Amino acid sequence: CEKQDGRPFRQRLLVVANRLPVSAVRRGEDSWSLEMSAGGLVTALLGVKGFEARWIGWAGVNVPDKVGQDALTDALAQKKCIPVFLDEEIVHQYYNGYCNNILWPLFHYLGLPQEDRLATTRSFQSQFAAYKKANQMFADVVNQHYEEGDVVWCHDYHLMFLPKCLKEYNTNMKVGWFLHTPFPSSEIHRTLPSRSELLRSVLAADLVGFHTYDYARHFVSACTRILGLEGTPEGVEDQGKLTRVAAFPIGIDADRFIRALDTQPVQEHIRELKERFAGRKVMLGVDRLDMIKGIPQKILAFEKFLEENSDWHDKVVLLQIAVPTRTDVPEYQKLTSQVHEIVGRINGRFGTLTAVPIHHLDRSLDFHKLSALYAVTDVALVTSLRDGMNLVSYEFVACQDAKKGVLILSEFAGAAQSLGAGAILVNPWNITEVAASIAQALNMPAEEREKRHRHNYMHVTTHTAQEWAETFVSELNDTVVEAQLRTRQ
């Protein structure tokens, strides 16, 4: 079953990401239950259909024993997932350490954690060694499952070393790498002790993708300035080998949300929410409880709005749904306490015996409840300090065709480039500006809301996760074809 150019019709796609779409919870010696993982990477990739895909990654749990590993491997196989088993020490150094304490804040322009900056600097080398070791473990599993003709698509900052490891196994493997976070200015990237090694490893891929043109440009300029390589309009060239670099803005499976709104459970939740918040405008924040999301800043801006608009006190409520994430990393633990403290203070200040202005939940909501919440919201607040794209803003827009609510969106989220014309763009660090935008959104005339919504809805429903994946994989195939043509000449 082959096309004329020799490519198989249904190419197998090996998706490699640190996090599998399901996380495992042990129920007995050889019994496991699987729960949906949180985060934009999983959301986007689950929206991709039509590929013969296998997902290789970590199930979020330490499984030291063979019985447990075999049972989990079988349970995951039913979901077309293949586990990479990482022990506690590797998780501590690679995932909590190098990935989430170093790369994540740095790529989001937040620098290293303030208090233990020196300690972090001292542990760079051991954590980078663990990072490379973990990447090699992913490569080993990919290599075991790879069949000729497969396309290997590596994801995110956890796996920057993977393209190099894979090409060492097999130079003919088609390897793509996509970053789900911003790629920072080269001035930030060059502070990393492992800056050159990381760039060179990524360049081993055939295609390197980012959410926005700016992130791609930063990457190319890091390769030019740090490695002295030539940047071309197509990508980066090193000794005759071209690594194609381009922007592939991600999307969501908008139809899934749109269809859900007509279902009985979602309609039931919508009815309950409308009853519960009758007479009040609903403002909504949905985030992982992460420092990049600007949750404390958002809540302080809401407080400022309440201070300046006493006529709104009992007419508006902010629902902040924040799913805990990376809870073993001290910075995240501090953030949780900080958010709780601020919410408590503001509710104490502005609450009454019967109502509080902020409902803050530290939890994940299931798909139906989340869709219903998006649908009843009047104003969504996405105030990330930095964000690769931010799919919450897309999900909100997809659920708003009846209500036409307003999106307040950080100018530092990748989504500002696609939804900027329909949203109210804000600098999340400026709480006075965000407070004024809240007032603007709550008072916006219906005609303007309609116009802004139309723009965003059109974008979200046409630039989908499916289109994103098809474009990336097709371009990845073409880079290989080009390479083959070159060798034939």
Residues that bind ligand G6P (CB under 6 A): 19, 38-41, 156, 180-181, 325-326
How many angstroms separate the CA atoms of 382 and 393, rounded?
7
User: Nearest approach, Cβ of 388 to ligand G6P (angstroms)?
Assistant: 6
Residue nearest to ligand G6P (CB): 39
Q: Interacting stretch for ligand ADP, rule CB under 6 A, among 8-16, 99-107, 336-344, 364-372?
A: 364-372
How far is Cα 247 from Cα 238, in angstroms, rounded to an integer? 20
391 binds, among ligand G6P, ligand ADP, none (CB under 5 to 8 A by kind): ligand ADP
326 interacts with, out of ligand G6P, ligand ADP, none, CB within 5 to 8 A per kind: ligand G6P
Q: Measured from the CB atom, is 19 or 298 closer to ligand G6P? A: 19
Gap between the terminal Cα atoms of the chain: 28
Binding partner selected for residue 181 from ligand ADP, ligand G6P, none, CB under the kind-specific 5 to 8 Å limit: ligand G6P
**H-helix segments, 174-294:** 186-189, 195-203, 213-227, 254-261, 264-276
Q: How far is the CB of 38 from ligand G6P (least distance, A)?
A: 6
- Given strand 235-238, what is the order of strands in its sheet? 81-83, 52-58, 12-19, 151-155, 174-178, 207-210, 241-247, 235-238, 230-231
Distances (CA, A) of 371 to 23, 254, 374, 375, 465: 22, 11, 5, 6, 18
The reply to whether 383 sits near ligand ADP by the rule CB under 6 A is no
The reply to whether 134 sits near ligand ADP by the rule CB under 6 A is no
Of these partners, ligand ADP, ligand G6P, none, which one is at the site of residue 410 (CB under 5 to 8 Å by kind)?
none
Give the C-alpha separation, 443 to 211, whole Å. 33
Cα dihedral 19/25/26/27 (nearest 10):
-150
Q: Which two tokens stand for residue 383?
A: 């105030």
Provide, rounded to whole angstroms, the least separation between the CB of residue 369 and ligand ADP: 8
Kindly provide the b/e burial profile for residues 378-401, where b requires at least 16 CB atoms within 10 angstroms of the residue's own CB: bbbbbbbbbbbbbbbbbbbbbbbe
Tokens linked to 378: 């009047």
Hey, what amino acid is at 319?
L
If one asks whether residue 456 binds ligand ADP (CB under 6 A), the answer comes out as: no
What φ, ψ does residue 463 adopt, rounded to 5°? -100, 80
Residue with nearest beta carbon to ligand ADP: 40
392 counts as binding ligand ADP under rule CB under 6 A: yes
Site string for ligand ADP, 301-340 (x = CB under 6 A): --------------------xxx-----------------
Binding residues for ligand ADP restricted to 171-190, rule: CB under 6 A? none
Q: Tokens 């696609």, residue?
A: 418
Q: Which of 28, 20, 26 is nearest to 76 (CA)?
A: 20
Question: Cβ closer to ligand G6P: 38 or 246?
Answer: 38
CB of 131 to ligand ADP, least distance (A): 20
* Subset of residues 18 to 47 that bind ligand ADP, contact rule: CB under 6 A: 38-40, 43
Q: How far is the CB of 108 from ligand ADP (least distance, A)?
A: 10
Q: Report the residue number, 331 or 395, with the smaller CB distance to ligand ADP.
A: 395
Q: Answer with the entry of ligand ADP, ligand G6P, none that 364 interacts with (C-beta below 5 to 8 A by kind).
A: ligand ADP
Among positions 365, 436, 442, 444, the unique one binding ligand ADP when judged by CB under 6 A: 365
Exposure of 467 by Cβ count < 10 A (0-12 exposed, 13-18 middle, 19+ buried)? middle
Chain center to CA of 484: 34
Q: Which of 22, 48, 385, 389 binds ligand ADP (CB under 6 A)?
A: 389
Binding site for ligand ADP (CB under 6 A): 38-40, 43, 286-288, 321-323, 364-365, 370, 389-392, 395
